[in-house]
Amino acid sequence: MLKSIRSSSDLQIYLTQKGLSWSECQLPDSTAVGYFPLRIPLYYADLINWKDPADPLRRMVIPDVAEQHVQPYELVDPIGDKAREAVPGLIHRYPDRCLLLLTTYCAVHCRFCFRREVVGKVRAVDFESIVQYLKEHQEVKEIILSGGDPFSFPVGFLKSLSEYLTPLDHIRTWRFHTRIPAVDPSSVKGEWLTELAVMGVSKRLIIVLHVDHPTEVTLEFTDLIKQLHSIGCVLLSQTVLLKGVNDSAEVLGKLFRSLIEAGVKPYYLHHLDQVVGTDHFRISIDAGKRIYTSLRGNISGICNPEYVLDLPGGFGKVPVMWMKKIRDRVYSTTTFDGQTLEYVDQASEAN
């Protein structure tokens, strides 16, 4: 039985089961475009209007021939993870928190994924070295679990993780970054939530949900949010600003209101990273600023996230609204540790 769509043939089977044809859906001759493989949970596929080539959810998960048009500015490691890797699997970019990359599995392969070079591939993680490093760095107060998607951890792995990390008393907050509640909420089972609740007895649990479009805020999503609230989790969201998906104040306003109503505080709106093969998703900094400015006052302040850009090279996030244009398409910005850098906006004003 088909559990997820992972190839053109899987997609053909799915469409046939739905009484749809390839040509009727105006799909390209092949979805094997580029080198980032296809993966779509059936739950998420059911949210897509397959007869509409411009459907925003479809645009996020179906390969586009534009992915082959790699631009000179695009980067294999767009936010500089490698430059900040303390030991394999552990990124130490900011003084008081570390990022743990313990899995390369994701339930969905978003076509704009900034870690597409590692997702789905074998990656060595030296867990003993990670724990030793954290013991030696008492300034670290928070662990961020990402990947891949940490909500894909088997329950046994979650238990082992807890056994390793719980004794680190100086680390009081555990943060999970996940897309699964938006793309396959039923895969988060009761036993998994039970183990998460056990972890929450001694640590503060923060769940940051990756949600990009109001269509993703479904009853199933909202039901899972209620369960996460019931075990004491703090729930935030992050959204990537994407051309042809959510690049309007109307769509973003609806999304952020829906999240607040569901019990999720919008946390970050990300300007698109300089990911290989994603130029067709990019809008300009100026356009992003106009969209974000139009949200202010038109939706409640509690609905508005921080609009940020993750600087190439591993220098961390900066608020986009603080960036100052100093020349055509060139902006000056200051990092969290006081460095003044220039950022070149690779999107044209028309984008």
Residues identified as active-site: 93-94, 97, 106, 110, 113, 115, 273, 310, 317
* φ, ψ at 249 (rounded to 5°): -65, -30
3-state secondary structure of 165: helix
CA dihedral 60, 63, 68, 74 (to 10 degrees): 30
Enter the tokens of residue 259.
Answer: 């999240």
* φ, ψ at 254 (rounded to 5°): -65, -40
DSSP H helix total and E strand total for the chain: 10, 15
* Gyration radius of the chain over CA positions: 20
Helix locations, 67-151, DSSP H: 127-136
For 166, counting Cβ atoms within 10 Å of its Cβ (0-12 exposed, 13-18 middle, 19+ buried), the class is: middle
List the 330-334 sheet strands across, edge first.
Answer: 324-327, 330-334, 340-344
Are 73 and 344 contacting, i.e. CB atoms less than 8 angstroms apart?
yes
335: nearest Cα among 302, 313, 350, 351: 313
216: nearest Cα among 332, 99, 62, 43: 43
* φ, ψ at 317 (rounded to 5°): -85, 150
Enter the tokens of residue 295.
Answer: 């949200």
Enter the tokens of residue 324.
Answer: 């100052």
Three-state secondary structure readout of 45-56: HCCCCCCCCCCH
Enter the tokens of residue 64.
Answer: 């586009």
